[in-house]
Amino acid sequence: LQAVFYGVSFLADVLRLIKKLRCAKCVISSRDLLFSVLAFPVSTFVSISFWTLYTYNRELVYPKSLDGVIPFWLNHAMHTAVLPFAVLEILATPHRYPAKKKALILLGFVAFLYISWVLWIYSETGEWVYPLFALFSPAGLAAFFTGSLAVIVSFYNFGEFLNRMIW
């Protein structure tokens, strides 16, 4: 998600520099939608939830056995760097936020796709993407996913608030 967002941002900047303003407007709209609805809320959620759970009991989200598979720097690129980069983006670039209904529908749809992917992997392998999920009953898992979505929506609202206050 972050790579796609920053790729679109780079394309928007290049198009503005070469004066392709019609194309740039479309790409900038896509950039703003990606950042406001997905990149900021998801990166904030990922960073905060991952490091909170990691601090509590790393085996719930990142078992020690992964240390030999995923390099230290990659773990931080995926779970640490995304938050400061998202905050820097809010400070450096104004973003247009879509209508709340449109934003929440898109955010809910992406959450549905992610949850479907997590459940598909479990159904195919019998292993959870995160060991934490094995602790939940089906109802508990549904409550966890619902609560996580509520937190992500609050991060969306917080990003919108910050953008409005700064810009």
Q: Is the pTM of this model over 0.85?
A: yes
The first and second tokens of residue 28, run together, are 């900038």
pLDDT in tens, 107-163: 999 999 999 999 999 999 999 999 999 999 999 999 999 999 999 999 999 999 999
- Give residue for tokens 């019998």: 126
Contact status, residue 39 vs residue 2, Cβ threshold 8 Å: yes
| C-alpha to C-alpha distance for 108 and 85, rounded to whole angstroms | 23
| C-alpha to C-alpha distance for 154 and 110, rounded to whole angstroms | 16
Question: Of 18-27, 28-37, 70-79, which gets the smallest average pLDDT?
Answer: 18-27
Buried b / exposed e along 17-32 (16+ C-beta atoms within 10 A): eeeeeeebeebbebbb
| The pLDDT of residue 16 | 86
120 exposure class (CB count in 10 Å sphere: 0-12, 13-18, 19+): exposed
pLDDT in tens, 75-97: 999 999 999 999 999 999 999 99
122 exposure class (CB count in 10 Å sphere: 0-12, 13-18, 19+): middle
User: Which band of pLDDT confidence, cut at 50, 70 and 90, is reported for residue 12?
Assistant: very high
Q: How many other CB atoms are there within 10 angstroms of residue 156's CB atom?
A: 24
Q: Where do the structural domains in the chain lie, given as residue ranges?
A: 1-166
Counting residues of the chain whose pLDDT is more than 90, the rounded percentage is 93
Greatest CA span in the chain, whole angstroms?
A: 55
The first and second tokens of residue 102, run together, are 């449109």
State whether the Cα torsion 148-35-161-56 is positive or negative. Answer: positive
